[in-house]
Amino acid sequence: MTSMDRAVASEGERLGAVLRGGGVVAYPTETFYGLGALARDPAALERLARAKGRPEGKPLPLVAADAGMVQEVAELEGLARRLADRFWPGPLTLVLPARPGLPDAITGGSGTVGIRVPGSEVARALCRAAGGPIVSTSANPSGGAPPVDVARLDAGLAARLDGILDAGPAPGGLPSTVVSAAGDRLKLLRDGAIPFAAIEAAARLAPRGPLG
C-alpha cells in the first residue's frame, strides 16, 4: 500500500465516523464523485437533498460494501441475485424490493430501492467504515455536471458538506446501468456502463439452482 493509499484509507475511516454521526460527504465511485449519507438516517438524507437541491419525491440510489450489506436494506434473490453475482462489484444498479423501515427519501414511496456494490474499493471501504449502505447520488447541484475530481466540486455544494474523501480523479464515463429484476422479469430503466445486451445474456445463461 502506497502512502497515498494509506492516507485515503485513514480519511475513509474518519469519514465513516462522520457518516455514522449524521454527516454528509463526497466520495469517489467507479465513475464520478458522489454524495453520501447513511441510508437509514432521515435527517442526514434531508440535509443531503437540501445541499444538492434535489427535487422532493425522487428516490436516492445506494451503494453497499458487499451483497450481505445489500440484504440489510433490500431483498436480493432469484434473478437479481444471479445478476449481482455476475456483475458486482461494478456499475450495475439493481432496483429491488426494499426492507421495511427505509426512509421515503430512499424509496420515493415506491417500496423499492436502487442499489449496487460499486467497482470502487474506496467507496466499498467507506460503506464498511460507515457500517451500512450509503447514498450514491452525483456530487453536483441538481441539474449540474457530475465531477470527476475534487477540484471540480461546486464550491457552494462543497461548503455544505461535512467532509470530502479525495482519492484523486475518478474515471468518469457512463453512469451505472439501472435495471429492475422482479421475479424472472428483467427491465432496463437506464442505459449505462454495462450494455443491457450483456445483462440479458447473463440472465439467460445464469444457473437457476439453489442460491449460495
Instruction: Give the model confidence (pLDDT) of 61-93 as tens digits.
Output: 999 999 999 999 999 999 999 999 999 999 999
Cell numbers for 152, please give them. Answer: 471540480
Q: What pLDDT is attached to residue 7?
A: 86
The predicted model gives 4-30 an average pLDDT of: 93
Residues facing 186 on adjacent strands: 181
Q: Measured between alpha carbons, how far is 57 from 136 in angstroms, rounded to an integer?
A: 16
Bridging pattern class, strands 62-63 and 33-36: unpaired
- Mean pLDDT for 164-191 is 93
Q: How far apart are CA 184 and CA 198, in angstroms?
A: 16
pLDDT at 118 over 70: yes
Question: Residue 142 above 80 pLDDT?
Answer: yes
Q: With residue 116 as reference, give the H or E element that holds it.
A: strand 112-116
pLDDT value, residue 198: 97
The CATH class that applies to domain 3-205 reads: alpha beta
pLDDT at 204: 86
- Residue 206, all three cell numbers: 445464469
3-state secondary structure of 172: coil
With cut-offs at 50, 70 and 90, classify the pLDDT of residue 211.
Answer: very low
Whole-prediction pTM value? 0.91
pLDDT at position 175 is: 92
Q: Which ranges in 53-96 belong to alpha helices (H)? A: 67-70, 78-87
Contact 65, 127 (CB under 8 A): yes
Instruction: Quote the pLDDT of residue 1.
Output: 61
